[in-house]
Amino acid sequence: MKINISRQNIYILTLSFLLLIFVFVFSFAFLIPEGKKYRINKIELKKENLKLRKYQDYHDEVLDRLTELKSENRHIIEAFGTEFDPQRFKKIHKDYFNTLDIVQSKTVETMDEFVVYDVNTTSHINSPKSFYNFLDALNKSDWIIGVNFPINFERSDEMIKSSFSMKVYNSKAIFKY
């Protein structure tokens, strides 16, 4: 019995066999090793994405806290940037005193980010209650002011003479957020 295979079929079988060998060589030489590298890289990428997500969550949490603090303390942040004006200070707080004299000290301290003005004041008040109301009003003023101790009170006739020193804190560079 004679097998009758045409020359075309032999060429196609030979070509198919060569392509099959090429596919096996290509897959074992290139695809399988690259597949292993791909799996390793995929695992590393998942780890990095997990770290990124953790840091992104922390970033979002800190950003939310920062915006919350900025909104709660907007008045304080703006007060650090406000330049101290003694005339305006007298005008705002004159209701608490009969007379208010402000003398700015010659020494101006410079701390890292702040300029500190030392202000000495002498005033005449009707009662200590008006002085305490003045201290409450300082907390709501446009400046960051610290009243230094001692606060001296002296009675003279119907008035009380008070003298104290204040430090006014001002930022060198206005905070921009």
Tens digit of each residue's pLDDT, the chain (177 residues): 677 888 898 899 999 999 999 999 988 888 888 888 899 999 999 999 999 999 999 999 999 999 999 888 887 777 777 777 777 777 777 777 777 777 666 555 555 656 666 666 666 777 777 777 877 887 777 777 777 777 777 777 777 777 777 777 777 554 443
- Separation of alpha carbons 117 and 137, rounded Å: 19
Closest alpha carbon to 144 in 79, 75, 67, 84:
79
Residue ranges of domains in the chain: 1-72, 84-171
Closest alpha carbon to 97 in 61, 65, 126, 68:
126
Q: Which CATH superfamily is domain 84-171 in?
A: Ribosomal protein S6/Translation elongation factor EF1B (3.30.70.60)
Global pTM? 0.50
